[in-house]
Amino acid sequence: MRLKRLIPVVWLAACLTAATALAQKPAAKAAPKPPSNDDCLACHGDAAAAGASGRSVAVLPDKFGASIHGLVGVACVDCHADLAKSSEFPHAEKLAPATCVTCHDKAVALYDVSVHAEARRAQAQSVAAACKDCHGSHEIKPAQDPESPTHHLNLPATCGRCHGNAEIIRKGRIAIGDVVAQFQDSIHGQALAKSGLTVAPNCKDCHNAHDIKRRTDPASPVYRTSIPAMCGKCHQGVERRYQTGVHGDALAKGRPDAPVCVTCHSAHQIARTEGAAWKAHVLAECGSCHPESRKTFRDTFHGRETQLGFMRVATCADCHGAHDIYAKRDARSTVSTARLVSTCGKCHAGSNPSFAQYDPHADRHNHARNPLLFYTSKFMEALLIGVFSFFGIHTALWASRAVKPGVGRRSQE
């Protein structure tokens, strides 16, 4: 009676055992079923999950769920591909890096020719950025998301995690230094950070996102001869004027010293060009290639006033123009004979052909350019030397002879 009652129970147990054994047998021998995201999160979903070294291995389900990969249903093992075949859990401590190339083959192909990839290939311990250094890992978001580290407005800070980090700059031997600090104060950096303009360029607009190359690499968009076209992507009108001017012409002829945009404006510290600071700065910029003109400018009224900080006088660009600078003999030049009167007239209302004969780069030592000034200068020098020599001697002799009344009598005895 008691035994009879037990039969179904035993049968059920036997069935279950057999079923379990049947279920386990093919799993051990045929292809194992990859772990699902839930399987992974069973351990990694705990915020306190940590590896043997104490490093957090937590993947917060909320964060992953909100990421683009979570939203479109990417499986953990799609990226952590070596776990797809793993059956031992907890799995080995050391895993292969997550692979992006399976889905993002185009971006990775571009990255592979970049200076970052090159550095990582050359040195296993390189600090150069890989995919997740810019994009993040489990919480990854598309660049259109305002919270993404690769969002247009966030990218400078993202690049700055390395390019604004003294330790990494040192380790990676990054010659330009803390470039993000320079950029943040520039007109482009301010447009992004302060005005929130998504049309203002961030790092990738000049350097590209994935295939970043050294500026000395002819394939780089910031290679010297490519810069005008690169800036011209936004500054189209300026580029066109530059190409027609002497500087663009010199570049087109392959002259190695021809200035491009960044020669005058700098690459990362581009400043506003309206206002006193730039007017003073442009003297140094133009003067670095035209030292003679800078020197003669310094010696005339406009130049001396600017030395004292009074900037409401003409500096280089006020007369010569900025991008479409032409040689003086070219009729298009603002300082050509045909246009000089109106150029002076921008500041001097009564400008006329006689007025425009003033030489803003006069050189008193240059006989060929300013003969009258040369001789006047020589006359003035002679006058000064003559007067001071005569009266210097006169004074010295008198001082030795004249004596204070009272004191003198004794000394003359």
Partner 1 sequence: MPEMPAAPSRQNEYRRFGLADRLMHGVLMFSFIGLAFTGMPLLFSDAPWAVRLAGIFGGGRSAGIVHRVFASMMIGCFVLHVWRLMHRLFVKKELEVLWGPASMTPQPRDVQEMVAHLRWFLRLGPQPRFDHFTYWEKFDYWAVFWGMGVIGGSGLVLWFPEFFSRLLPGSWFNIALLVHGEEGLLAVGFIFTIHFFNSHLRPDKFPMDPVIFTGHVSHHELSEERPAEFERLRADRRLGDLEVPPAPGWVHRLARVVAVVAVTLGLAMVGLILYAVLFARP
Interacting residues toward partner 1 by CB under 8 A: 298, 300-301, 303-305, 307-310, 312, 348-352, 354-359, 362, 364, 370, 372-373, 376-377, 380-381, 383-384, 387-388, 391-392, 394-395, 397-405, 407-409
Alpha carbons 246 and 290: distance in angstroms, whole number: 14
Q: Is residue 297 within 8 Å of 361, Cβ to Cβ?
A: yes
The least distance separating partner 1 from the CB of residue 357, rounded to whole angstroms, comes to 3
- Give the Cβ contact number of residue 13 at 10 Å: 11
The least distance separating partner 1 from the CB of residue 320, rounded to whole angstroms, comes to 18
Q: Residue 71 corresponds to which amino acid?
A: L
Angle between helices 276-289 and 291-298 (to 10 degrees): 130
For residue 261, what are the contacts with CB-CB under 8 A and spacing of at least 6? 227, 228, 231, 235, 242
CB-wise, 141 or 361, nearer to partner 1? Answer: 361
The least distance separating partner 1 from the CB of residue 406, rounded to whole angstroms, comes to 9
CB-wise, 244 or 351, nearer to partner 1? Answer: 351
The least distance separating partner 1 from the CB of residue 380, rounded to whole angstroms, comes to 4
Phi-psi region for residue 50, left (φ > 0), alpha (ψ -120 to 50) or beta? Answer: beta
CB-wise, 226 or 300, nearer to partner 1? Answer: 300
Look up residue 199 and give its two tokens: 């049309």
Helix (H, G, I), strand (E, B) or coil at 113: coil
Report the run of H or E that residue 94 belongs to, with start and end.
none
81-91 burial by CB neighbour count: b if 16+ within 10 A, else e?
bebeebeeeee
The least distance separating partner 1 from the CB of residue 118, rounded to whole angstroms, comes to 47
N- to C-terminal Cα distance for the chain? Answer: 161
CB-wise, 216 or 354, nearer to partner 1? Answer: 354
Instruction: Check residue 213 and report its DSSP letter.
Output: -
CB-wise, 55 or 404, nearer to partner 1? Answer: 404
CB-wise, 33 or 304, nearer to partner 1? Answer: 304
For residue 259, what are the contacts with CB-CB under 8 A and spacing of at least 6? 247, 250, 251, 289
The least distance separating partner 1 from the CB of residue 279, rounded to whole angstroms, comes to 13
Q: What is the largest CA-CA distance in the chain?
A: 161
CB-wise, 132 or 348, nearer to partner 1? Answer: 348
The least distance separating partner 1 from the CB of residue 329, rounded to whole angstroms, comes to 19
The least distance separating partner 1 from the CB of residue 344, rounded to whole angstroms, comes to 9
CB-wise, 89 or 391, nearer to partner 1? Answer: 391
Look up residue 249 and give its two tokens: 């012409």
